[in-house]
């Protein structure tokens, strides 16, 4: 039998009433009230409930007759149980091992939580703050960024990341090793944090989607970037760049937008020059030359020169 925890539950999962051996001692008012509620709802030991919603401290579930019952969570967990595989419940959690020993005692509900923990272990948030403060002209949206130190703890080096392994944790026992490389994750994130700090989160998200034919990246800043204190987090894709791209109908582009920045992957410098010519005079943007895993910021004159070279090459090829 497995006692309930919220991270084990989701809509549609089933639990059974478990009151056969419930003993209510003196002063155990929650048990007493939970048992009274079960009796009032005419439920008996072994009845199956189907979870509908957990919101704050309230649980909604359907009884065997399809009636909706509302429990306080503290009652619900006292009078119900999971049956593990018999009810299709996934009770897998994850733990981190370092050099063959348990790294901290924390268990993680899913691999997303594992990755968040690894980001903290590599001091990712502080590193992002340090790098972005050096690139304020490119990334004004990061000016007020502050590292969440409360998420911190021991900071591990790259060599120490080589010693990390992720394992499943099931029913209080160590399970199989997970096919996930912490050192590869470390290297990927260290590379991506540099892109985020230099060019913004939209450029980082776009980089993950680039194909070999994409040679340039154009990053447009929302017109509200010219205001003194814009609310960067609320900014969407600018209608200006949206209108320009709709007009030009450039084939093969890939886009990503975040914090009012729209990053666009392009195949030629001529495409980039065409976009620049369609923009209002005071528009703010970044022009990036993509060289494999290297992103190099360039100026307008580099783009125009590269565009001329492309046109000359087309003439000679013809």
Q: How far is CA 88 from CA 126, 167, 168, 293, in A?
A: 41, 21, 17, 43
- Give the per-residue pLDDT at 151: 43
The residue ranking higher by pLDDT, 14 or 212, is: 212
**Lowest mean pLDDT segment, chosen from 84-93, 165-174, 242-251:** 84-93
Considering the chain, what is the average pLDDT of its residues?
85
* Spatial CB neighbours of 97, under 8 Å, sequence gap ≥ 6: 103, 164, 165, 166, 167
- Separation CA 307–CA 301 (nearest Å): 10
Is residue 85 predicted with pLDDT exceeding 80?
A: no
pLDDT in tens, 163-217: 999 999 887 788 999 999 999 999 999 999 999 999 999 999 999 999 999 999 9
What's the token pair of residue 297?
């910021």
The residue ranking higher by pLDDT, 303 or 32, is: 303
- Give the per-residue pLDDT at 153: 60
């Amino acid at each position: 039998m497995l006692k309930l925890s919220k991270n084990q539950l989701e809509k549609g999962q089933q639990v059974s009433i478990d009151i056969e051996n419930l003993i209510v001692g003196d002063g155990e008012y929650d048990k007493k009230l939970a048992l009274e509620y079960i009796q009032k709802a005419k439920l008996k030991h072994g009845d199956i409930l189907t979870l509908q919603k957990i919101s704050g401290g309230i649980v909604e579930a359907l009884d065997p007759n399809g009636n909706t019952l509302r429990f306080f969570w503290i009652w619900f967990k006292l009078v119900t149980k999971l049956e593990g595989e018999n009810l299709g419940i996934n009770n897998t959690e994850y733990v981190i091992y370092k050099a063959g020993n348990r790294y901290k005692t924390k268990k993680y509900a899913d691999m997303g939580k594992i990755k968040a923990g690894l980001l903290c272990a590599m001091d990712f948030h502080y590193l992002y703050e340090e790098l972005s403060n050096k690139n304020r002209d490119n990334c004004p949206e990061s000016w007020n960024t502050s590292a969440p130190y409360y998420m911190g703890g021991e900071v591990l080096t790259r060599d120490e990341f080589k010693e990390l392994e992720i394992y499943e944790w099931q029913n209080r026992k160590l399970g199989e090793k997970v096919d996930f490389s912490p050192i590869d994750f470390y290297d990927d994130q260290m590379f991506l944090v540099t892109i985020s700090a230099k060019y913004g989160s939209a450029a980082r998200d776009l980089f993950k989607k680039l194909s070999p034919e994409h040679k340039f990246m154009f990053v447009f800043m929302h017109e509200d970037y010219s205001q003194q204190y814009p609310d960067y987090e609320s900014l969407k894709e600018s209608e200006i760049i949206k209108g320009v791209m709709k007009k030009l109908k450039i084939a093969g582009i890939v886009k990503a937008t975040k914090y009012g920045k729209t990053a666009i992957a392009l195949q030629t410098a001529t495409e980039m020059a065409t976009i620049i010519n369609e923009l209002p005079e005071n528009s703010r943007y970044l022009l990036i030359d993509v060289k494999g895993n290297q992103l190099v910021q360039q100026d307008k004159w580099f783009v125009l020169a590269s565009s001329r070279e492309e046109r000359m090459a087309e003439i000679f090829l013809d």
